[in-house]
A and B are shown apart, each in its own frame.
Chain A
Amino acid sequence: MTDYCIETDALTKCYGKKTALNDFSLKVQKGGIHAIVGSNGAGKSTLFRLLLGMIAPTSGSAKVLGVDSQNLTTDVRGKVGYVNEEHTLPVWMTAKAATHMQRSFYPLWDQKIYDHVIGYFDVDPNQKISGLSRGERAGLNLSMALAQSPEILILDEPTLGLDVVAKQSFLEALMFTETERAATIIYCSHQMEEIERVADQLIIMEKGHLKNNSAPHEFVERVSVWAAEVNGKPIDRSQIPGLLNIKRIDDQHHIMVTDQGDDFPEKVKHLGLTDLQSMPVNLERAVNAFLSKNHNSPDSKIG
């Protein structure tokens, strides 16, 4: 039995001539919270749809709990929870009826967990779901997803549009609900603060490519920023190893690079960059630099 709960191999998905996912090989270890970040259109939704077998890959393969995504068994579907940003639920039903229906499908349904999680949210069971607030709806959805005792729980931007209180409850319920079987959580979010708090592993996607899959602090260590004095000479960007971006701030160039050691100043000496000072970098900046690497910005031309 493999230790990976999700495994993709050279997974590629094209829509016409647009490549949404490119040679994407990802292995997700069992257990813990794996955060996926990526800008819009990075291929996150495509990845989830491929994992759940809603579309077929152009090439490559994906496995969930060791089963090919194209032929997911009902057993595997029962073990993989999926919560999307809309919190899709049968809005015409009451919370109670929807829960009743959901319970009937899941043999491992744990009512204790449901009762515990729903306790974080103020959901009237007799209220129609269409009448619930966004936060309540998210709470109901999470309660059901956790009560299903999933082995994998995929959360696609679950706190999008939630207010501070609801978000707090959501994260608390997600992180501190004791489940019989520890679920592997795939958490997709744009909010770096959340990511920093919840993530054991950080998966970064950009334009259909896998850019990182490591613990967040290990990722931050990959990125370094160096400040250099502006000396009037143009910088040949192509010569800087591992360049993520350069920003001119007053009389300094802030050069952000990846996977460079302490010998970086030596490596760029010949480019006329001297007096390099290392600067601290936090997770958000590091991630943003990764995500915006190939996107044009007014700073991309530095004279």
Chain B
Amino acid sequence: MLTKAATIPATNAAQVILRDLNQRFGSAAITAQSTADHIPTFWIGREIIHDVLKHLRHGAALSFRVLYDLTAVDERLRVHREGLPPADFTVVYHLISFERNDDIRIKVPLHESTLEVPTAADIWPNANWYEREVWDLFGIKFAGHPTLRRIMTPPTWTGHPLRKDHVARATEMEPYVLTEEREIAEQEALRFKPEDWGMKLHSKTSDFMFLNLGPNHPSVHGVFRIILQLEGEEIVDAVPEIGFHHRGAEKMGERQTWHTYIPYTDRIDYLGGVMNNFPYVMAVETLAGITVPPRAQMIRIMLAELFRMASHLVFYGTMSQDVGQLSPVFYMFADRERVFHIIEAICGFRMHPAWFRIGGVAADLPQGWDKMIRDYLDYQPKRLDEYHKLVMQNRLFKARTVGVGAYTLDEALDWGVTGPGLRACGLEWDYRKQRPYSGYDQLEFEIPTCNNGDCYDRVVVHIEEMRQSLRIIRQCLDNMPPGPYRSMHKLATPPLRDKTMHDIETLITHFLNASWGPVLPPGEAMVSIEATKGINGYYLTADGASTSYRTRIRTPSFPHLQMIPLISRGAYVADLIAILGSIDFVMADVDR
């Protein structure tokens, strides 16, 4: 039934795994696929998928500890499927082994009549939310899932938005009318029923209080709702609810051209600015085979690190504000203004410059950029020292954060934690170091780690990262290579104009590339980077069109929020606020 594809991925590990799987499950059930990102990709029938995943997690010689991403693709309208098993929908598992620095992608082909796969939540706990998301947006069922209900869309929603036959814009739908009955029904649907989540209403001695924290609450950092089961002020259990910030960013990717989607990415982690452009344009460049010139690479790194500063400063300030300190947030926002001042001078915008382009950046650095950055680099470290005294050495701050919200490295891996939250548990794993991209391998910096994995350590890692960022920015400043700021590749955007007026062919090509955008060759690529809050990746499927066939955005905050109940059980309400602050999330990064 499944045919073997012609090419087998190049890496050795991939062949070992393939041989192992073939031996164990029979070669008929497994098909290999080659992708532009060179991640070993195997198609596996749904009858054996659970066993295969279990084997890959626990049994295999080359096991994969972390479920990095789980998503799906609606394959029904995909034109270029040469060599791939027939499928209406595909469920995609992306596994990572931090130990071996290795990836694997497992795909399950599904027919429209039997949209069901066994759940992987018993293998990786973080599969829980990912599977709910796939169910919500694609309508694929996960047999054995404990709470398979909608997560992004409201419970009253009909249809599954990421299916190709679902409307993409509000104007394609009937005008929305909120009648009184509908309002009541919507309100009722939002009501939290503890029984639905298997929660008890009373303990032996007392009734529990169910406290609805959010979606509008000063300390949930956006529209995040978390329902607490309280005994006094102690948290017995918690149910996080997300989706209030869901804007269908992935669906928009299927409508916008490769080029015009860049500004949308800025708003995913809205504190990260161009940091979001980074994985997206790199994924597009991987698909198109574009090599970015060194100057553009260095500019990208510099801007990304400036945004890491801006984002971490917000984190630092809001974290101290969450435990009741009023002043630091003002100092840190003032510092962030300085960063934005530089970013504005370079990009013309502050928070969401959308400044990266396919093949480079939008413009060369302006005159005087180096002085601005040098001034900032001289200014910031002293301020960080002051903040260290003000916040980190404050006894009350320590009392509120040391030992609070701790998780072990094992738990972090179980729940797919990445970024500072992972490094606070002692694992020295940073994408910039382990899989250097865009020239990070030419720069000197360290990866700060801590050992306790509590709120305090997460803050420490963030702060040390800021110092390392400053170090990276200084190296960019001192070693900025000359040369073009964008690639001359024909698919790079915006298309070059210098020869357009000489012959009609170039004019037509320019016109098409500027108005419709470039057409990328069919293929698949997942490119990830070390973003401000963890690993952020774009998994793009091109189908030979000017738009993406499927844009999957893997964000770090999504799995981080999922583990909140685990680390807040037994804590106090005030601890939860410290935990939320220390996780460093923004809701747009969770809901997309």
Do A and B assemble together?
no
Residue numbers of A with Cβ under 8 A of B are none
Residue numbers of B with Cβ under 8 A of A are none
